């Protein structure tokens, strides 16, 4: 009887040690995963994180506010997965300088899936006539998810190298999809399938020579294609496309 009791205790001890080991591995893996992300290129982004005569850049609770000359239109931006949010500062700055105030949001663990509703605070705090939600890659998918549930609060949606998995056909939203011809990360089959979920008048722009990463400044992304244009050119064409959407152009 005593031997059987010792065997049971030994087995329980072994199981406990195995479970503890698994917990340590999972915890360690989680810490590694959330800290393994694409960092913003400081040399490229630093000038766009400072206020000047054209744009005032200020910190807000969960990100940055780029306040330009615009007063009626604003855009809330969700960064791509595992990308430092400040990498999108140049794009936000340029939009703000063109009259579209921008809110660049920092996501928990750099993953928009954990901060889908972060647009709530912005919509509740600031007052604009027209609100646009935008996002890059996974950030775009999460922006589409949010937009599908808040159609009455938004005027439009901008998807950069992204697609919607939600039905937006009758949403009344103005929708723009922008992607690069050399994008090696974007799933083209899902992009095509996602078109059926967008309004009939949705706009689409393929930037010739552009890739997945150059909507921001965080270096080369694994699996991406080699760009045939500069990052500055890709961002400028993106700004031009967004301005067309806001102006209601076909």
Q: At what angle do helices 231-246 and 89-97 cross, to 10 degrees?
A: 40
For residue range 8-18, list pLDDT tens digits in order: 555 555 554 44
For residue range 26-77, list pLDDT tens digits in order: 333 344 444 578 999 999 999 999 999 999 999 998 999 999 998 999 999 9
**Mean per-residue pLDDT of the chain:** 89
**Fold for domain 39-246?**
Rossmann fold (3.40.50)
Band of the pLDDT at 159, cuts 50, 70, 90?
very high
Query: Would you state the pLDDT for residue 7?
Result: 54
Lowest-pLDDT range of 19-28, 138-147, 187-196: 19-28
Domain boundaries defined on the chain? 1-36, 39-246
Mean pLDDT of 207-216: 98
Query: Would you state the pLDDT for residue 37?
Result: 84
Query: Would you state the pLDDT for residue 142?
Result: 98
For residue range 74-122, list pLDDT tens digits in order: 999 999 999 999 999 999 999 999 999 999 999 999 999 999 999 999 9
């Amino acid at each position: 009887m005593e031997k059987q009791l010792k065997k049971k205790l030994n087995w329980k001890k072994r199981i406990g040690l195995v479970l503890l080991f698994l917990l340590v591995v999972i915890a360690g893996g989680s810490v590694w995963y959330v800290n393994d992300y694409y960092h913003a290129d400081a040399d490229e982004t630093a000038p766009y994180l400072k206020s000047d005569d054209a744009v005032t850049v200020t910190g807000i609770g969960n990100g940055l506010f780029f306040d330009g000359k615009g007063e009626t239109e604003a855009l809330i931006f969700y960064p791509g997965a595992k990308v430092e949010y400040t990498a999108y500062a140049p794009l936000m700055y340029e939009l703000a300088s063109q009259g579209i105030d921008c809110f660049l949001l920092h996501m928990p663990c750099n993953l928009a899936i954990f901060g889908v509703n972060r647009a709530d605070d912005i919509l509740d705090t600031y007052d604009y006539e027209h609100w646009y939600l935008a996002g890059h890659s996974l950030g775009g998918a999460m922006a589409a998810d949010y937009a599908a549930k808040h159609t009455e609060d938004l005027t439009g949606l901008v998807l950069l190298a992204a697609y919607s998995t939600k039905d937006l056909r009758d949403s009344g939203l103005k929708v723009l999809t922008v992607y690069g011809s050399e994008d090696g990360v974007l799933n083209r089959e899902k992009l095509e399938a996602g078109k059926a979920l967008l309004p009939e008048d949705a706009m689409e722009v393929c930037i010739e020579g552009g890739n997945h990463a150059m909507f921001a400044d965080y270096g080369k992304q694994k699996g991406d294609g080699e760009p045939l244009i500069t990052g500055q050119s890709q961002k400028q064409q993106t700004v031009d496309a967004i301005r067309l959407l806001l102006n209601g152009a076909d």
